[in-house]
Amino acid sequence: MPGFELFDEKERKEVAEVMETGVLMRYGFTGARAGRWKAREMEEAIRERAGTKHALLLADGTAALTTALAALGVGSGDEVVMPTFTFVASFESVMAAGATPILADVDDTLCLDPAAVRKVITPRTKVVMPVHMCGAAADMDALGKLCQERGLYLVEDACQAFGAKYKGKFVGSLGGVGCYSFDFNKIVTCGEGGAVVTNDDHIYKKADMYHDHGHDHSSDDRGAEGHPFPGYNYRISELHAAVGCAQISKLEDFVARQLRNKKPFKNALSEISQVVFRRLPDPQGDSGTFLSFFMPDEAIAGETARALKNAGLEGVFHWYDNNWHYVRNWTHFKERRFAHPVAASILEGMPDYSKADFSASDRWMSRCVSLSIKLGWEEKEAVAKAETAANAIKSLLSR
Ligand SMILES: *Cc1c(COP(=O)(O)O)cnc(C)c1O
């Protein structure tokens, strides 16, 4: 990870094809585009892999989440349960849909703890939104069962896990709706891009209209199209989709490379008794983007991250200190500092997160270190880096 490490002539050729016609928009201009429909082509490639009936490619993963919620009819007065460890886009998209984000603790899977979700469900809860963090799936059996019992929608934020599977199925395809991101730092990138997948015709159609100003996409004449309801502009451009077409064709190779490169790290770190690996509810389905593990305490985890960086490794994260991925530093959100007045209904049912107790999440996240696994490493390189990493940790622990 990320996919841009392995850009080659394939991406350049796809982009050049779009520039040859000059039709950068995904809709209309049927004559001028000479049969080139890059967004449609990538949607087909997503459907093929996810095994869903529908895929809608759009501007980014945040827009995908917002669109998915809107298409489900989730909005003002509704609560969406999401984890304390995720990218800020998760609560941003819930708020953009007009709903209230409700945070629940994560466990040693680095994803939603089903027991913690149970505790925060209220009569206003509409959605449980697990986030498959760092390339591997949440405990979807338990979360799926809970949603079924309580009659809640299961919306997967699979933005960080395109290519990961859960018990043989592509993540994102397990609940009612799934969302992917193809931003610049993801395993498959369009530069900026995202997708909504679902098997439900009605949800797909609503998402399709919502993401393009409400256009019902009923004809080739955009001006004459109907608008059952207003939407927004969350469209992707053909240029971005073109990059994505080339990238997605490499997904299987990307995952294989990551798993190959992750293995020596896991082997080398297994020899250190103080290192405890993240629990993967389905180890077979891991996409290999990260190796995540727990150290004995917060201080040692921080020192481990520093030692790994000093040893020359890139993409080392102690998420507990991260401004964007863990609740501890989401001070803007917790202190309710917004750019403009936010609808009262969003904040009414929201707990005071400046005072909330997330010690159960802290217990795992304070000790967690993640190492990004690079696509560009040759196998020998990965083996050498793994040894370097293990030695750095061993020497730190022996002090
Ligand atoms: C990247 C990401 C998003 C948002 O995707 P963008 O395409 O950057 O808008 C949402 N959720 C998670 C967990 C992500 O990692």
Is the pLDDT at 137 greater than 90, yes or no?
yes
Last residue within a domain, chosen from 251, 279, 312: 251
Peptide bond into 123 cis (omega under 30): no
Q: Give, rounded to a whole angstrom, the gap between the first and last alpha carbons of the chain.
A: 33
| Residue 247 sits in the same domain as residue 138 | yes
For 165-217, how does the pLDDT look when each residue is reduced to its tens digit (9 = 90+)?
999 999 999 999 999 999 999 999 999 999 999 999 999 999 999 999 999 99
For 79-131, how does the pLDDT look when each residue is reduced to its tens digit (9 = 90+)?
999 999 999 999 999 999 999 999 999 999 999 999 999 999 999 999 999 99
Task: Write out 193-211 in H/E/C secondary structure.
Answer: CEEEEECCHHHHHHHHHHC
CB–CB of 80/102 below 8 Å?
yes
| Residue 88 sits in the same domain as residue 223 | yes
Q: What is the CATH number of the domain that holds 270?
A: 3.90.1150.10
Predicted pLDDT of residue 168 = 97
Ramachandran class of 77: left when φ > 0, alpha when ψ lies in -120 to 50, beta otherwise: left
| Residue 169 sits in the same domain as residue 127 | yes
Quick one: average pLDDT of 368-394?
Answer: 98
CA of 159 to the centre of ligand 1 (A): 5
Is the pLDDT at 399 greater than 90, yes or no?
no
Last residue within a domain, chosen from 251, 266, 282: 251
Bridge partners (DSSP) of residue 276 are: 294
CA of 273 to the centre of ligand 1 (A): 34
For the Cβ of 93 lying below 6 angstroms from any atom of ligand 1, the answer is: no
Tell me whether residue 119 is one of the annotated catalytic residues. Answer: no
Last residue within a domain, chosen from 217, 251, 285: 251
Q: Return the exposure string of 17-42: e unless at least 16 CB atoms fall within 10 Å of the residue's CB, then b.
A: ebeeeebbebbebeeebeebbbbbbb
| Residue 246 sits in the same domain as residue 299 | no
Sign of CA dihedral 330, 336, 341, 347: positive
Q: What is the pTM of this model?
A: 0.98
For the Cβ of 79 lying below 6 angstroms from any atom of ligand 1, the answer is: no
| Residue 161 sits in the same domain as residue 264 | no
Q: What are phi and psi of 385, to 5 degrees?
A: -65, -35
CA of 178 to the centre of ligand 1 (A): 12
Q: What is the CATH number of the domain that holds 61?
A: 3.40.640.10
| Residue 59 sits in the same domain as residue 167 | yes
| Residue 132 sits in the same domain as residue 227 | yes
Residue 396 to residues 190, 304, 332, 371, Cα–Cα distance (Å): 40, 7, 35, 17
DSSP character string of 261-285 = HHHHHHHHHHT-TT-EEPP-S-GGG
| Residue 247 sits in the same domain as residue 283 | no
Question: How sure is the predictor about 220, in pLDDT bands with cuts at 50, 70 and 90?
Answer: confident
Instruction: Report the number of distinct structural domains present in the chain.
Output: 2
Q: What are phi and psi of 344, to 5 degrees?
A: -55, -35
| Residue 126 sits in the same domain as residue 163 | yes
| Residue 107 sits in the same domain as residue 228 | yes
For the Cβ of 183 lying below 6 angstroms from any atom of ligand 1, the answer is: yes
Structural domain span for residue 175: 3-251
In the three-class reduction of DSSP (H, G, I as helix; E, B as strand; rest coil), residue 230 is classed as coil
| Residue 240 sits in the same domain as residue 314 | no
For 290-321, how does the pLDDT look when each residue is reduced to its tens digit (9 = 90+)?
999 999 999 999 999 999 999 999 999 999 99
Residue 287 to residues 35, 60, 365, Cα–Cα distance (Å): 34, 21, 21
Q: Count CA atoms closer than 13 A to 387's CA, side-chain side.
A: 5
CB–CB of 137/126 below 8 Å?
no
| Residue 288 sits in the same domain as residue 242 | no
